[in-house]
Amino acid sequence: MTCSSCVAAIEKGLKKYPGVEQVLVALLAQKAEVKYDRGVISTREIIAALKDLGFGAEELAIDFQSENLLERNEANQWRRSFFVSLLFFAPSMAVMMFFMGHMDRERLWFRGVSNKNFLLFALATPAQFIGGRYFYVQAFKALKHGMANMDVLVMLATNTAYFYSVIVCLIFMMTASNGSPKTFFETSSMLMLFISMGRWLEHKAKGKTSEALSKLISMQSSEAILAEVDSDFNISDEKPIHVGLLQRGDIVKVYPGEKVPVDGKVIHGSSMVDESLITGEHLPVSKKPDSLAIAGSVNGNSPLLIKATHVAQDTTLNQIVKLVEDAQTSKAPIQQLADQLAGYFVPAVCFIAAITLSSWIIVGFHDPSYIRSFYPYLDVSSDTEIVLLFSFQCAITVLAIACPCSLGLATPTAVMVGTGVGARNGILIKGGEPLELLHKIQCIVFDKTGTLTEGKPSVTRLVVFTSGDEREAITETLCLIGGAEASSEHPIAHAITEFAKNYLKYDSFPTVKNFEVIPGMGIKCRTTSIANCVKNCQQNEELENFIEVVNCDRQSSTLIDVSASDSVQRLDGVHQLLIGNRALMNQEKVLISKTVDVIVEHAQLSGDTVVMVACDGEVVCVAAVADKVKRESKSVVTCLKRMGIHVAMLTGDNRNSALAVAQRIGIDTVFSEVLPSHKVAKVKTLREQFGLVAMVGDGINDSPALAHSDVGIAVGAGTDVAVEAADVVLIKDNLFDVLTALDLSRKTVQRIKYNFLFATLYNLLGIPMAAGFFIPFGIVLRPWMGSLAMSVSSVIVVGSSLLLKRYRKPTRSQIESNAFANEFRRSNKTLLPRWKFFPTFTRTAPVLTKVHYSPLTQIN
């Protein structure tokens, strides 16, 4: 494929076949994606159909090295064509320059043909048919199947110049003329030279657009060290093995400086690992036993033993490569328009060239003196010769200057570079459509748990009721709770157990008996002696420091409050323990005092989950558990608001918890207690009110909402990059990458628009200029000028897209500045058209302020 006309021809040709449902052709990637009914048409028949259309085709296999080799071969082919053309053009130019300086040396070698024309003919012929062989092959295939592409234009221009020159020479020979005609022999060589040079440079530049993908591919390791270890991690045997032969559960040894060959878990050793090319994290990451290692990362200073969890095509690196490749093959909506126009471009140019030729012939024969004024040095030539010379010159220049390639390359080159830059920064954008839509988003909806918050509950407050020694009461309480909750699998139980471990610095909690989980309420059990636990924790230095921070600001740290109560219970020996909510306490007939009630209500109003601990029928402790808000959440929400984007929260959590988080980070629109299946309705509501909606979630329980939003963004995917429902996958668990994705989209679309503007203006100005519309202003283009301009225009478009490689991820300080938000708003106003299907942030729309939907009223 050489230009967008080929794309249009393939898509149109394949869609005619029964069973073919959808055809997507990527010019830059030289690939086609065909959706078809296997019961009606087979893969073999589709390949045969493509060959009938004049294009070589084979089923795609995942062999990146072969693809790179194919791209290099294409560039080398054009390089050879350029040097062959140069081999004949250089002497042609020398002949031209010689006779321009020594016109008296031009002699007739035989009637009608001068020495100058004969030499130019001898040099132009091999340049035309040897240097232009590839153009002939491609143009013949296109015309054979009723298509017109860029190669057809090139052949029309060069053949018109060459055969016009041959024919006029033959006419002069047959009429035994005493003079020799003016010819375009040097023009033919010049067109071949400039066009082949342009194609060569274009392919070299196109190769650089996929540099990010090539770097990812180069990170794949071909060999690994398979190790056999005993229970103490002593290596009994190790041998090199091809990575394709590795299986899950295999243990590999990675030496310092080597690439990690698989995704897996570190089982032995500690080292610093460079994951920058995969996650965008520029600093080395510490790896120790139980840490996850990613294929393609580079080990640092110490050897590691890694147990494989994902191998071959299932590794994170291969998934990223596949996603980026698919993204670079897909089309942005704006590209579809360009491809449709390209189908009519070449026939239109041919029509304009024919009109140009006939118009100037008519004008010339009507007023030969007007045409002769352009050739004052050809005073001995006849009017007919001069009129034909000028008319063909204009027609050839029109064919030479027209460039559908610049229009066809405007979008895919920018998309390819943009998606590659995103992958380099840990942002995987699945195609041109989400890349184009991102900067148009008017409303962003965040899931709460795991997106705005850490996703892991932690203890935010612990109130112990005692009239005895505070230190002993806290120690005994934590030992009791830690022992009981260690037997539970509930996330809140894990949070309380971790709290006890961290602050006691002790994890050998006493065992419990008669452990029972009461669904929806909590647990109950009988405790054993905690004397050993208390003895080992009493002198813990950190516990003493912790007791001293009773009056710290609750929002800044986790703390224990020690409050007095009229309930006194010395926790010792064997006791009946209840840990759970108010419903459990009521069921077990536990008396809840007014003091406990006040503390519980205060915690619940703050959005915390409250757990009460009762020992032998009396409440001795209240724990408040909450999911901590991520540090960057408030900054990200504030930045989005300044950028003119409405922000909403959509969560299944209770009303108080949702409103507490929303208030803390500045979100005004809140949908709480919404089931995953009902989140789609809320996304539709927001779309009707604000316009294009992006959903940001973790891709687990919010997949329907991600899929039904205009752009679904999965944050913190880590090694699970193939989140099906998401259009954008953020590898790192960092909400600032949402802003980076918006910024990258804006910069990429801006570059696409610049490319289109240049390509459109080039053709709108260049073709009329070549046709002679600007002759009254003294502007006359020669065919070689047109071919040079055409070649340069494609290179300029590709070079413009390559400027995106200079994109640098904005820092936190840049994102939080007013300048960043103002630039986003300003550029969006210039990028978005005046007509819109959806309202933008400039439209005044009603705002839902802290709206709460209960499960019964969430669907209108």
pLDDT digits (tens, 9 = 90+) for 595-639: 888 888 888 887 788 899 998 888 888 888 888 888 889 999 999
Catalytic residues: 447
Domains defined for the chain, CATH in brackets: 4-61 (3.30.70.100), 63-209 (no CATH), 221-321 (2.70.150.10), 457-628 (3.40.1110.10)
Q: How confident is the model at residue 548 (pLDDT cuts 50, 70, 90)?
A: very low
Whether residue 50 contacts residue 57, with contact meaning beta carbons closer than 8 Å, is answered with: yes
Beta bridge partners of 286: 272
Q: What is the pLDDT of residue 357?
A: 92
Query: Which residue carries 């959706």 as its tokens?
Result: 35
Q: How confident is the model at residue 451 (pLDDT cuts 50, 70, 90)?
A: confident
**What percent of the chain is predicted at pLDDT more than 90?**
9
Q: Looking at the chain, how many residues does it have? A: 860
Q: How confident is the model at residue 72 (pLDDT cuts 50, 70, 90)?
A: low
Q: What is the pLDDT of residue 571?
A: 47
Strand ranges, E, within 206-320: 223-229, 235-242, 251-254, 263-268, 271-274, 285-287, 292-293, 298-299, 304-310
- Is a pLDDT exceeding 70 seen at residue 24? yes
- Is a pLDDT exceeding 50 seen at residue 562? no
Query: Within 13 Å, how many C-alpha atoms sit on residue 660's CB side?
Result: 20
Q: What mean pLDDT is predicted for residues 18-46?
A: 78
Instruction: From 485, 474, 462, select the one nearest 571 (Cα to Cα).
Output: 474
Q: Between 327 and 362, whose confidence is greater?
A: 362
Instruction: From 503, 474, 458, select the one nearest 613 (Cα to Cα).
Output: 474
Q: How confident is the model at residue 743 (pLDDT cuts 50, 70, 90)?
A: very high
Q: Two tokens at 700?
A: 């687990």
Q: Provide the CA 847 distance to its chain's centre, in angstroms.
A: 32
- H or E element in which residue 396 lies: helix 383-401
Q: Between 109 and 844, whose confidence is greater?
A: 109
Q: What is the pLDDT of residue 216?
A: 67
Burial group, residue 770, by CB count within 10 angstroms (0-12, 13-18, 19+): buried
- H or E element in which residue 523 lies: strand 522-527
pLDDT per position as a tens digit, 296-324: 888 888 889 999 988 887 887 777 777 77
**What is the distance between the alpha carbons of residues 417 and 414, in angstroms, rounded to a whole number?**
5
With a CB cutoff of 8 Å and minimum separation 6, the contacts of 569 are 466, 615, 616, 618, 620
Q: What is the pLDDT of residue 330?
A: 64
Q: Provide the CA 62 distance to its chain's centre, in angstroms.
A: 20
Q: What is the pLDDT of residue 649?
A: 92
**Listed ranges 144-148, 592-596, 838-842; the one with the highest mean pLDDT:** 592-596
Q: What is the pLDDT of residue 70?
A: 56
Q: Please name the amino acid found at residue 545.
A: N
Instruction: From 746, 742, 743, 737, select the one nearest 632 (Cα to Cα).
Output: 737
Q: What mean pLDDT is predicted for residues 348-359?
A: 92
Q: How confident is the model at residue 543 (pLDDT cuts 50, 70, 90)?
A: very low
Instruction: From 490, 477, 417, 40, select the one nearest 210 (Cα to Cα).
Output: 417
Q: Between 112 and 34, whose confidence is greater?
A: 34
pLDDT per position as a tens digit, 464-494: 887 666 777 777 888 888 888 888 878 888 8
